[in-house]
Amino acid sequence: MSTTMTLKETDVETSEKRGKYTVSIIGCGQAGLSTACLFADAGFKVIGVDSDLYVINLIKRGKAPFIEPRFTQLIKKHLKAERLKVTNQAKEAVSASEIVIFSVPPSIDQKGKPDYSQVEKACKEMGIGLRSGSLVIVESNLGPGETETLLKETLEKTSGLRAGADFGLAYSSISALSQHTFQDIVTRPRVVGAINEQSLRAACLILSLITKAGISRVANIKTAEAISLFENVYRDVNHAMANEFAHFCEKAGIDFFESQKVLNTYPSCYMPIPEITSRYSSSASYLLFEEAENIDVELRLATLARKINQEMLNRAVRLTRDVLRSCGKTIRRARISVLGISGRPNAKEINQFFAKDLVTALSKNGARVRVYDPFFSPKELTVLDYEAGETLGKSVEGADCLLVVVGHDRFRRLNLRRIKFLVRKPAAIVDFSNIIDPDKARNEGFIYRGFGRR
């Protein structure tokens, strides 16, 4: 029987004392693996669990399926010190743990509907190994009420234990503003809700050991779930405003980014960059929309913002058509090279839609599209149903237009002077990530376009 629910501060006040406890992380995505490294840093024994054997084998070799400062060094350090292990066997990991962090998000289907099948499956596997006295902390973004219905009921059914009586249950999602999830977890406050006071006290104690920004306790789990979604939907609304302003700037002959730079010096204003957002990156909106529909509430502003952001795909196609016209070419039969298909910069992440949707839309308009992403091999891209070049050079060779879709650091260092000899002139660059210097591109003979650019 685990004693986590009766822990005192003195029981975990040093790394040596924390080393007596094991933490299982269910889901080794960026959020889960960041959490695993932080608990290992604090002195706990950590077991990372993921159903993807590719991810497991990569971590065992001291690597992560994404790039983030310090990660490779941290993983190797904790593997060597035997504070971190990884496995695809959830039952064995959970049965050896006093604390379980659940980090498996729901997926969003093509119609924008949440799919909790993977969440439920992971809960069943976790419940089989759950020990009496353990503490479960959910850190995935979920619809309000899902932790205390789907997760709780699944865990109770598979474990034979009761939440709040036999094991603790709390909710505290990770709020990461960028790809730098590790830093965000440490420096941003954690909102914690729990099924009862004992679970709340234990969760706050455990989470306080991996964050420097403090803990905000809320009345219950449903409130904590809602707060996480509200923050993410607020960002989506802000992005919609940026996308609208960028469109205006394009038509008015104004550089949006010059305006944004000034606006962001004002304490009362923060303006993000315009971008194509995927259904995956905006999952919070769809999770909230489903719950709003269930209780007959219309979220008009959030719904409109999501509609505006979804329209960015069509804007991207129109911008590509327009720039090709400036080259004296048509989108039909044009050769287009798409640079980047990952879900976020500097990561190998395929659970997103906008790159695939963009390629599909361009192909339907008659373009021949090749794809290059430094985090995917040509074989992997082919399996994902893309036409891929063997190298960056092969991918852009003979291209009429380059679309920079994902802001990988590799693309920030593009040698445009060399690339201009590979493309079919006159050629264009459409920069959807705002990482290419427009003047440099134009000086090398490219016709340049970007969201919000003159």
Decide if 4-218 and 313-450 have a common fold: yes
With respect to CATH, is domain 313-450 assigned 3.40.50.720?
yes
**Any idea which fold 4-218 has?**
Rossmann fold (3.40.50)
426 prior amide bond cis, ω within 30? yes
**Any idea which fold 230-309 has?**
N-(1-d-carboxylethyl)-l-norvaline Dehydrogenase; domain 2 (1.10.1040)
- Name the pLDDT band for 280 (thresholds 50, 70, 90): low
Task: Check whether 281 has a pLDDT greater than 80.
Answer: no
> pTM of the predicted model, to two decimals?
0.87
Whole-angstrom distance, CA of residue 182 vs CA of residue 187: 9
Note the pLDDT tens digit of each residue in 21-55.
999 999 998 889 999 999 999 999 999 999 999 89
Give the pLDDT of residue 178. 53
Give the pLDDT of residue 176. 60
Torsion of CA 445, 447, 451, 454, to 10 degrees: 90
2, 105, 189, 414, 447 from 205: Cα distances, Å: 16, 24, 14, 47, 56
- Name the pLDDT band for 1 (thresholds 50, 70, 90): low
Question: What average pLDDT does this structure show over 222-234?
Answer: 95
Check if the beta carbon of residue 358 is closer than 8 Å to that of residue 371. no
Torsion of CA 194, 197, 198, 203, to 10 degrees: 40
Check if the beta carbon of residue 415 is closer than 8 Å to that of residue 390. no
What's the chain's average pLDDT? 92
- Of 67-71, 89-93, 268-272, the one with minimum mean pLDDT is 67-71
Q: Would strands 99-102 and 22-26 be described as parallel, antiparallel, or unpaired?
A: parallel
Give the pLDDT of residue 226. 97
Q: Which residue has the tokens 């219309």?
A: 298
Note the pLDDT tens digit of each residue in 319-368.
999 999 999 999 999 999 999 998 778 877 775 567 888 999 999 999 99
Note the pLDDT tens digit of each residue in 86-142.
999 999 999 999 999 999 999 988 888 999 999 999 999 999 999 999 999 999 999
Whole-angstrom distance, CA of residue 54 vs CA of residue 329: 42
Give the pLDDT of residue 438. 94
- Name the pLDDT band for 185 (thresholds 50, 70, 90): confident
Q: Count Cα neighbours of 291 within 13 Å in the Cβ-side half-sphere.
A: 15
Give the pLDDT of residue 278. 60
Note the pLDDT tens digit of each residue in 434-443.
999 999 999 9
Largest Cα separation within the chain, whole Å, is 73
- Name the pLDDT band for 67 (thresholds 50, 70, 90): low
**What proportion of the chain, given as a percentage, has pLDDT over 70?**
96
Q: Count Cα neighbours of 331 within 13 Å in the Cβ-side half-sphere.
A: 16
The 3-state secondary structure of the chain, one letter per residue: CCCHHHCCHHHHCCHHHHCCCEEEEECCCHHHHHHHHHHHHCCCEEEEECCCHHHHHHHHCCCCCECCCCHHHHHHHHHHCCCEEEECCHHHHHHCCCEEEECCCCEECCCCCEECHHHHHHHHHHHHHCCCCCEEEECCCCCCCCHHHHHHHHHHHHHCCCECCCEEEEECCCCCCCCCHHHHHHHCCEEEEECCHHHHHHHHHHHCCCCCCCEEECCCHHHHHHHHHHHHHHHHHHHHHHHHHHHHHHHHCCCHHHHHHHHCCCCCCCCCCCCCCCCCCCHHHHHHHHHHHHCCCCCHHHHHHHHHHHCHHHHHHHHHHHHHHHCCCCCCCCEEEEECCCCCCCECCCCCCHHHHHHHHHHHCCCEEEEECCCCCHHHHHHCCCCECCCHHHHHCCCCEEEECCCCHHHHCCCHHHHCCCCCCCCEEEECCCCCCHHHHHHCCCEEEECCCC
Domains of the chain by residue range: 4-218, 230-309, 313-450
Residues 6+ apart with CB under 8 A from 235: 272
- Name the pLDDT band for 206 (thresholds 50, 70, 90): very high
Give the pLDDT of residue 245. 96
Nearest Cα neighbor of 188 from 223, 221, 214, 218 is: 214
399 versus 383: which is more confidently predicted? 399
Note the pLDDT tens digit of each residue in 296-315.
999 999 999 999 998 999 99
